[in-house]
A and B are shown apart, each in its own frame.
Chain A
Amino acid sequence: MKKRGFALLVSLLALFYFGGIGYATDTITIGAAYGLTGTMGWIGGDCVNGVKLAVDQVNAKGGIKGQKIDIAVYDTKNNPDTARTVFEKLIKLDKAVAVCGPVITQATQTVMPLAEKYKVPYSAVSGGFEINAAILPEYKKLGKKCYAWALTIGTPRQNEVKTIWLKKKGYKKLGNIEPLSQMGDLSTVMYEQWAKKYGLEIVAKEKFDEKGTDFTTQMSKIKAAGADCIGSMASGGPATVLVKNRDQVGMKEVPMMTSDANLSKKFIDLLGENTGNVYTVAAKIQYAGYLEDSDPQKKIIQDFQESFKEKFGEGPKSWFFASVGYDSALMFIKAIEAVGTDGEKIRDWLENQNRFQGAQALYSWSPLDHRGIGVDQASVMKIEGGEWVPAR
């Protein structure tokens, strides 16, 4: 009697266990781990809506080979520790195949080892860390694989776009002024690299404290060094003060290349009268209205924007972040369609995609580039009539 009871228990457990697995294979879970609250919460909000749109579109077509996609949304609070906990939950409890997010650099870097250990590819927002030829070969040397993607143009590539443009316009001497931060240091290193490659001379290298109030000392040093163009990853208020200081020391005509974080109407308002010769870089979705009709990307962006408005009744706060979320989900969906739910296979497949059609731009990923937005997918932007427009 006792034995039979035990056998019954075992078979019941087995039923639950395998039944559970059977249930799990009905849907495929993709994680969405973005900072949804706090100062930059709106960014995560736009991203999540992008993810939802991509997943809804594939589910409406019957899912992937009959399996529906499920999204598990978590708030990382843009805090590295919370992001780590969220990733553990997504991997262990939700059995997420891949994760869209997180947003900020520190969170992105904190979850990196976790993703590698459990072979879960993820697609971040942050532009402030390297997943390119400077880092990825190291992985190969160590016999490891990098599971991090990021669908923003990133500091290295945007500085390349700026340097090429400056060279094309005939500028020769670059003055570099960067905030005292990881991002600023990376930007300086990248300017050095691209200046060497494309033939610009860096005549001044300055730093400034973003909490400071006046940077005319640094600006006049740049002027004294004879710079005819300025490069900086400054953004927001500090960037505004920098531009004002540039104008004050009499360098109004010297173009200043700033961070892509400045791509907002708010920044233009902050600048007030000082909008002349201020530039940044954007990927195609930011200047969709200016694309040639022959550009295949134009139709993709229009379709994306229409279906987004249809689903949510209104546009996002920023098409840029909505498209980052959308493309993050889209790349995993396409990968799962192609190679199934194995994390390592998804990752390997993604690494070999050339001109992958996303809403933001065409991505070309490779073992040397996990961002994939090429120089041809971005443009230098200037301010004209209170708007950011492409500077040809």
Chain B
Amino acid sequence: MNTLSLYIQFVISGLTMGSIYAMVGIGFSFIYRVTTVLNFAQGEFLMLGGMVAITMTSVFGSSLGLALVVGILAVTITGVLFHLGGIRVLGKAEPVRMILITIAGSMFLQGIAYLIWGTDDYSLPPFVKAGTIDFFGASINSQVLPVVGAAVIITAVLKFFFDKTIWGKASAACAESYEASMLMGINVDRMGMLSFAMSAGIGAIGGILISPIALMQYQKGVPLAIKGIAGAVIGGLGNVWGALLGGLIMGLAESLSAGFIASYLTDVVVFVILMLVLFLKPEGLLKAKA
């Protein structure tokens, strides 16, 4: 392995991790954009998606495609119930209260997952069977391609949703002003529910796609959420392209610092970057556009 291919490998590893963080960050940013809630249960949506899909294939022997669909549906429903039972009933539109509810929701969902699946790690069969792809002497795990692809496609679709559809524009208006949107005849509760449903679905896709690479376990959501949320903040909260960019920056920072500095310093480097961004450009790299 020559030096160049080693460096390429660092970058590829960084993009791999980065696109996983981006999947969390996108859902997080989406909910924030519509409801101004910081949803700390976003990582649990990933975890649940992965777990449901794994159960479908290993217990019920379903195909991967069916497992994907059932996983997304199950988590989307969870997202809706979470919004109905938690945010809408208990939250009463107070941001601090809503954030606390999402933290409680995160613990609750973890508890449920622990009761169902215990503490074991589970693996999902690969979506792509191409094995390892050689790229200038560096190796790309073909499992990563669906993750990167999904992150980009989802971001583009969301961008279209916000800019071109009436629902997207209405949802953006909700973030701008809750009361004004209500006066304009927008059903803000329904918008909130929609954002939770879609974010949960996006989270589920991410969780299912990473399960063959990183395995799934009931506590897997929290560390992913921390990195994903940090990425969304770096990129600019509320901007889905920003979440993608921020996630990739997080992944690259992690991998390059492990590669060039020392692997025990990765978290330090990553969070120094986060703090630098918050100092120099508090609104994030890409400013949130309403």
Binding site for B on A (CB under 8 A): 39, 180, 206-209, 211-214, 216-218, 220-221, 223-224, 236-237, 240-241, 244, 247-250, 266, 270, 272
Contacts and interface: CB of A to CB of B under 8 A. Distances in A.
A213 B20 contact: yes
Interface in B92-141: 118-123, 132, 138-139, 141
A3 B271 CA distance: 79
Nearest to A213: B214
B213 interface: yes
Given A180-B264, A236-B121, A240-B121, A216 B215 contact: no
Contacts of A250: 132, 139
Nearest first, the 10 closest Cβ-Cβ pairs linking A and B are A237-B121, A213-B214, A211-B223, A207-B264, A216-B13, A220-B9, A217-B13, A39-B119, A207-B263, A217-B258
B36 interface: no
B214 A241 contact: yes
A241 B215 contact: yes
A207 B266 CA distance: 10
B13 A213 contact: no
B213 A214 contact: yes
A290 B10 CA distance: 43
Contacts of A207: 262-264
A249 B9 CA distance: 9
A187 B211 CA distance: 29
A203 to B, nearest CB: 13
Contacts of A249: 9, 139
Interface of B: 1, 3, 6, 9-10, 12-14, 16-17, 20, 118-123, 132, 138-139, 141, 210, 213-215, 217, 220, 223-224, 254-255, 258-259, 262-264, 266-267
A270 B10 contact: no
B213 A213 contact: yes
B258 A240 contact: no
Contacts of B6: 220-221, 224
B20 to A, nearest CB: 6
A278 to B, nearest CB: 15
A294 B254 CA distance: 54
16 contacts: A206-B258, A207-B262, A211-B220, A212-B254, A213-B17, A213-B213, A214-B213, A216-B16, A216-B141, A217-B14, A220-B9, A221-B259, A223-B1, A224-B1, A248-B139, A266-B120
Give the dominant DSSP class at A's interface. helix
Given A237-B215, A272-B123, A209 B13 contact: no
A270 B16 contact: no
A60 to B, nearest CB: 37
Nearest to A239: B121
Nearest to B133: A248
Contacts of B267: 209
Nearest to A207: B264
Contacts of A220: 1, 6, 9-10, 13, 138, 259
Contact of A217 (B120, B123, B220, B259): B259
Contacts of B12: 216
Nearest to A208: B263
Contacts of A217: 9-10, 13-14, 255, 258-259, 263
Contacts of B254: 212
Contact of B123 (A214, A224, A248, A270): A270
Contacts of A236: 121
A165 to B, nearest CB: 26
B1 A240 contact: no
A59 B205 CA distance: 59
A208 B264 CA distance: 7
Contact of A218 (B3, B132, B220, B263): B263
Nearest to B226: A211
Given A206-B258, A240-B215, 12 more contacts: A213-B17, A213-B20, A214-B13, A214-B16, A216-B16, A217-B10, A220-B10, A221-B259, A224-B3, A244-B213, A249-B139, A250-B139
B102 to A, nearest CB: 20
A266 B215 CA distance: 13
Nearest to B141: A248
A220 B123 CA distance: 23
A207 B139 CA distance: 21
Contacts of A266: 120
Nearest to A204: B263
Contacts of A244: 141, 213
Contact of A213 (B9, B224, B264): B224
B210 A213 contact: yes
A209 B9 contact: no
A187 B17 CA distance: 27
Contacts of A216: 9, 12-13, 16, 139, 141
A247 B131 CA distance: 10
Contacts of A209: 223, 266-267
B105 to A, nearest CB: 20
Contacts of B118: 39
A288 B228 CA distance: 48
Contacts of A270: 121-123, 215
A223 B255 CA distance: 16
Contacts of B262: 207
A250 B17 CA distance: 19
